[in-house]
């Protein structure tokens, strides 16, 4: 990269990637991108995003390429084409939450091309993207991190964690707490309501109490009526918890609360909540508690 602002590319323009691209456009960066369908990017194209048909074309025309994809399979699907267009000296910043092992394998392939891959998962949802307040954990080459840090600071607060895969390890550690917190909050709210406390009053008091973490405060307004357009799909949280459990198994570590959250999230998905926001755990628990058929419970 030269001393001028780098050209940015995005592969994956969903809720998170699309809002990141929009924020960088608003900050004056040249941004290109691709997604599964062009129609989904129409608002971004109107805002100045330069459409590319393939991940390879994104990589060929950008200095820094971001990927924001839902899982290991999606990331590996775009990797070959992206790497074919990734010239020596370029940097690939993956903000997806995926397996650290998969990320390290892709980092090795990227180095073979003379480029660098940084795993840079983020903590936060759509509101934090839009306000530029994401927490960003970065693993990989420290010199590459130094070059892209100004770009990352447009999105939030980045921290260099260590080698490839370590940013992802820390993100999974954080998401254990997010999933368990949301489940515990939903359990407490349901207990208070079933004990006769007005649900809104209980929610207000719980939010303002010492348990009101930033994540819970951010979701307090949607817990009783989660939006159809999820900030963070419950299924994504389930995926992250399972990634954490897999990493812990390799390390021989017990994660008892994560295991319980995994069980409840699996039931919630089976009940049809997979594409609702994580806050919908409260509705899922209500449904589980209201079962009268004696079936499996959480």
Give the whole-angstrom CA distance, residue 67 versus residue 81: 12
Give the whole-angstrom CA distance, residue 76 versus residue 259: 27
Give the whole-angstrom CA distance, residue 65 versus residue 93: 6
Both structure tokens of 188: 């407490």
Q: Euclidean distance between the first and final Cα of the chain, in Å?
A: 52
Dihedral sign, Cα of residue 17, residue 21, residue 24, residue 29: positive
Name the CA radius of gyration of the chain, rounded: 20
Catalytic residue among 22, 171, 217, 239: 171
Q: What b/e string do you get for 284-296 counting C-beta neighbours within 10 Å, with b at 16 or more?
A: bbbbbeeeeeeee
Both structure tokens of 128: 């934090």
- For residue 217, indicate whether it is catalytic: no
Give the whole-angstrom CA distance, residue 183 versus residue 165: 27
Where on the phi/psi map is residue 155: left (φ > 0), alpha (ψ -120 to 50), or beta?
Answer: alpha
Which residues have a catalytic role annotated?
A: 171
């Amino acid at each position: 990269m030269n001393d001028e602002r780098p050209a940015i590319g995005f592969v994956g323009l969903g809720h998170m990637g699309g809002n990141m691209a929009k924020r960088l456009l608003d900050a004056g960066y040249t941004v290109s991108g691709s997604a599964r369908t062009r129609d989904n990017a129409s608002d971004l194209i109107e805002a100045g995003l330069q459409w590319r048909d393939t991940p390879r074309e994104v990589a060929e025309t950008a200095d820094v390429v971001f990927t924001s994809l839902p899982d290991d399979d999606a990331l590996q699907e775009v990797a070959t084409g992206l790497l074919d267009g990734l010239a020596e000296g370029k940097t690939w910043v993956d903000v997806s939450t995926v397996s650290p092992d998969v990320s390290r394998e892709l980092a090795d392939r990227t180095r073979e091309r003379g480029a660098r891959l940084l795993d840079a998962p983020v903590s936060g949802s759509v509101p934090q993207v839009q306000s530029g307040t994401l927490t960003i954990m970065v693993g990989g080459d420290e010199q590459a991190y130094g070059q892209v840090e100004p770009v990352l600071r447009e999105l939030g607060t980045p921290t260099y964690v260590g080698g490839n895969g370590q940013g992802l390890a820390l993100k999974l550690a954080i998401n254990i707490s997010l999933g368990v917190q949301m489940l515990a909050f939903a359990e407490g709210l349901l207990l208070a309501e079933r004990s006769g406390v007005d649900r809104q009053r209980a929610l207000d008091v719980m939010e303002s109490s010492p348990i009101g973490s930033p994540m819970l405060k951010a979701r307090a307004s949607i817990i009783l009526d989660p939006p159809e357009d999820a900030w963070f799909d419950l299924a994504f949280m389930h995926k992250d918890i399972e990634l954490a459990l897999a990493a812990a198994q390799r390390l021989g570590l017990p994660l008892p609360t994560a295991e319980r959250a995994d069980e409840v999230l699996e039931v919630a998905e089976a009940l049809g909540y997979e594409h609702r926001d994580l806050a919908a755990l409260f509705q899922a628990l209500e449904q589980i508690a209201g079962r009268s058929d004696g079936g499996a419970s959480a």
